């Protein structure tokens, strides 16, 4: 039986603070790069990757990059070589000497010669169809050194509240199910966090671990760590809303695809709900990590004797 989850305590002083939900306070400090570096297809004023016409629902432009807080792993591990891989280069003008950003498609053959000790993936829900995900996990398995680890972090886009302040008829309450339905029609599931553990194990990973987090949607939590996480999560939502919604709603919105203006009106109403300090919403975040078996483990599984 699963352990009972603790509710997130609300900070009673939160309502006396002013300006605590203004998105301008949380703008990313990253610097833009010239838009000519990477080309893509443009739709409704946003740029999308163009390896295929309808591959990925989320935009890959400077506006969307503002939604992400980049953790400087290279600074924490100065003796390691860190490779960041995406379909577009990130908007940065400086990086640590041990960090390399590469523009690549992970569905294509992985051409790195040296095996990796650790592969981290995050916020990739909706990136691939089920077969694409199987390919990615298999390639990650093959690219890791024996005993190396894979880790993935994804969010559940459905919103919840412990105290009933997220009303059932609110836009936020219906947000998750609506976009899960749209993405299913697009062939790109947004429920990756529910399937990634099983997919890793199917690819051959062992020693699998999983941890579930509650991430407040705003800085309303009493706990200091959750308050900061909620502040960043709120900023992430504000910056990413249009990118999440525009392509899916203008192609798969119900009952018929929406217009660009209809999406903007809808998002304005969503932002009003987000700014309401009396709504204590949160999302689940799920972290799964697993290990590639060692050569000794693989040989034992085949009934062979390992000789170092």
**pLDDT(259) > 90:** yes
Q: What is the pLDDT of residue 67?
A: 37
Architecture of 36-301 per CATH? 3-Layer(aba) Sandwich (3.40)
Best CA proximity match to 178, nearest among 239, 245, 240, 238: 245
Report helix, strand and coil shares of the chain as percent, to nearest 5: 35, 20, 45
pLDDT in tens, 189-238: 999 999 999 999 999 999 999 999 999 999 999 999 999 999 999 998 99
Q: How many CA atoms lie within 13 A of 84 on its CB side?
A: 18
In this prediction, residue 152 has a pLDDT band, given cuts at 50, 70 and 90, of very high
**Mean pLDDT across the stretch 267-291?**
97
SS3 call for 284? strand
**pLDDT(64) > 50:** no
**pLDDT(86) > 90:** no
Q: What is the pLDDT of residue 1?
A: 47
């Amino acid at each position: 039986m699963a352990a009972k989850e603790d509710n997130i305590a609300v900070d009673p002083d939160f309502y006396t603070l002013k300006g605590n939900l203004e998105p301008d306070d949380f703008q990313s400090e990253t610097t833009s790069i010239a838009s000519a570096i990477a080309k893509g297809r443009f739709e409704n004023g946003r740029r999308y990757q163009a390896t295929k016409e309808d591959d990925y629902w989320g935009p890959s432009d400077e506006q969307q990059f503002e939604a992400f807080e980049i953790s400087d792993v290279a600074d924490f591990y100065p003796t390691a070589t860190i490779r960041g891989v995406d379909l577009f280069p990130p908007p940065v003008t400086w990086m640590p000497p041990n960090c390399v950003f590469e523009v690549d498609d992970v569905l294509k053959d992985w051409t790195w010669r040296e095996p990796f000790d650790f592969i981290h993936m995050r916020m990739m829900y909706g990136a691939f169809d089920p077969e694409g995900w199987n390919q990615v996990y298999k390639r990650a398995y093959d690219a890791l050194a024996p005993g190396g680890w894979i880790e993935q972090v994804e969010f559940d886009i459905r919103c919840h509240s412990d105290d009933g302040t997220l009303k059932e008829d609110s836009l936020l309450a219906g947000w998750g199910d609506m976009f899960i339905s749209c993405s299913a029609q697009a062939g790109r599931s947004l429920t990756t966090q529910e399937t990634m553990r099983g997919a890793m194990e199917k690819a051959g990973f062992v020693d699998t671990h999983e941890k579930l987090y509650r991430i407040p949607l705003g800085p309303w939590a009493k706990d200091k760590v959750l308050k900061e996480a909620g502040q960043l999560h709120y900023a992430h939502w504000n910056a990413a809303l249009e990118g999440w919604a525009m392509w899916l709603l203008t192609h798969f919105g119900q009952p018929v695809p929406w217009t660009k203006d209809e999406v903007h009106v809808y998002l304005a109403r969503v932002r009003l709900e987000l700014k309401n300090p009396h709504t204590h919403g949160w999302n689940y975040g799920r972290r799964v990590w697993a290990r590639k078996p060692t050569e000794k483990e693989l040989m034992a599984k085949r009934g062979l004797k390992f000789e170092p």
